Amino acid sequence: MATPPRISLSGTNYEIGYNHGSSLKAHIARQIESYYDMFQNSSKLDREGVHRRAREYEATILKLVPHLHQEIVGIAEGAGVDVLDIVALNVRSEIVLGEFQDGCTSISWKVVGEDGKPVQYLAQNWDWVRPVQQNLALLEIEQEGKPTIRMVTEAGIIGKIGYNSASVGVLLNALRASPTDTTKLPIHVLLRLCLESTTASGALAQIEKYGAASAQHILLGDLSGAQCLELSPIKNHYIYPNRENFLAHTNHSIENTAIKEPSEFPGSKERLGRTHEIVKTIGCENLSPQRLRETIFSDEENGNFSICASENACKPKWIRFMTLFNIVISLKEGCEPSAEVVFYNDTANWTDPQNVLLL
């Protein structure tokens, strides 16, 4: 694939949104088309049905976080599309809850670096369908009085996977469970609020204040450490690192008993177990983003359900998920936070250092 566009945005939230929309106009148009195809095939929802659901969430976003509603409006006007189409992109996880199968593997590992200082790694493979790959983008967002955000996102979506200049980082894993609650905030909006926070505890306070509209997992961390947040409209539950300062999560609830999954997410438990197996073999010495990619995140055991997943051509295209990118975020006291991103390429070794982009 071609390198995703890299865009720097600043100004008011409306200006940030408008420039986002105008810069990624073609990507957003393709993204809307792809998702409406998925909505129709997975949940039998036509455009009117999607808009009906999106309208409820839009009212909540406007009420609870009006600055982000302004950004969504700006994206729509910049891209020349209906605002409800952009809302639908930002609430796609809630609209077809339980139907999507984006299987991701996330880890947090706090280790001692070569200079004797602790390093907090947050890393994941993000798995989704191939048509979305051409619509990914690297965004840098500057807002007055808030940390600078750097994230990998889908065109038109205001919050996703990344970190900020205050060394707060977030990762995302989908969970398949009900119910949803349209009076609470969609997961991608909560991710954006996390990335606007100066500490992980401040981000967690935002989540507790507004609540999650659907059951999802966020791996949240800063220089002090990390937590797995198993979120649900009913109850949240937090998982803390083990004795080796390690955490891992895939696509099922590990401890939150309020999350009732209608069916087992294919390969999720196997990927989680495999992650812990690999960690035992590599240890925490001389750990680096490259070593994480070459060991945990390139693992292909279990075929289409592996940590590094390949596309299953036998599945319908809207659930034919595969690993689209890997990100390793590095947080270190006294250093600027950073991240390395590698996008899947059919023709090249995606663990090759030459394919690494700095976010």
| Within-domain flag for 33 | no
The answer to whether 47 and 61 are in contact (CB under 8 A) is no
Between residues 97 and 254, the one the model is more confident about = 254
DSSP 344-359: --TTS-TTSGGG-EE-
What ranges make up the beta strands (E) of the chain?
6-10, 105-112, 118-129, 136-142, 149-154, 161-164, 169-174, 216-222, 225-231, 237-239, 246-249, 321-332, 338-343, 357-358
* Whole-number Å distance between alpha carbons of 195 and 150: 9
For residue 44, pLDDT over 90 is answered with no
- On the question of pLDDT at 317 being above 70, the answer is no
The whole-number pLDDT of residue 314 equals 66
Residue 116 domain flag: yes
pTM score: 0.95
Instruction: Determine, yes or no, domain membership for 109.
Output: yes
pLDDT at residue 349 above 90?
no
Determine the structural domain holding residue 127 and report its residue range.
101-358
Q: What is the pLDDT of residues 200-252, one digit of tens each?
A: 999 999 999 999 999 999 999 999 999 999 999 999 999 999 989 999 999 99
- Among 94, 91, 203, smallest CA distance to 154 is for 91
> What pLDDT shows up at residue 259?
87
Residue 237 lies in a domain: yes
pLDDT of residue 337 exceeding 70, the answer is yes
| CB 220 within 8 Å of CB 204 | yes
Percent of the chain exceeding pLDDT 70 equals 94
How do the residues of the chain divide into helix, strand and coil, expressed in percent and rounded to 5? 35, 25, 40
In this structure, is residue 81 part of a structural domain? no
Mean pLDDT of the chain: 91
The structural domain count of the chain equals 1
pLDDT (tens digit per residue) in 51-66: 999 999 999 999 999 9
Confidence of residue 348 (pLDDT cuts 50, 70, 90): low
Q: Which of 33-37, 140-144, 259-263 has the highest mean pLDDT?
A: 140-144
Query: In this predicted structure, what is the pLDDT of residue 305?
Result: 82
pLDDT tens digit sequence for 104-131: 899 999 999 878 889 999 999 999 888 8
- Which of the residue ranges 67-71, 75-79, 130-134, 174-178 would you say has the lowest mean pLDDT? 174-178
In a domain, 91, yes or no: no
Tell me what the mean pLDDT of segment 272-281 comes to.
Answer: 94
Whether the Cβ atoms of residue 343 and residue 350 lie closer than 8 Å to each other: yes
CATH number at residue 347: 3.60.60.10
pLDDT tens column, 86-109: 999 999 989 876 455 556 899 999
% of residues, the chain, pLDDT over 90: 71
Mean local confidence (pLDDT), 277-287: 90
- What does the pLDDT read at residue 98? 46
Q: Is 72:82 a contact under the CB 8 Å cutoff?
A: no
**What average pLDDT does the segment 11-16 reach?**
98
Q: Residue 191: inside a domain, yes or no? A: yes
pLDDT tier for residue 287 given thresholds of 50, 70 and 90: very high
105 inside domain: yes
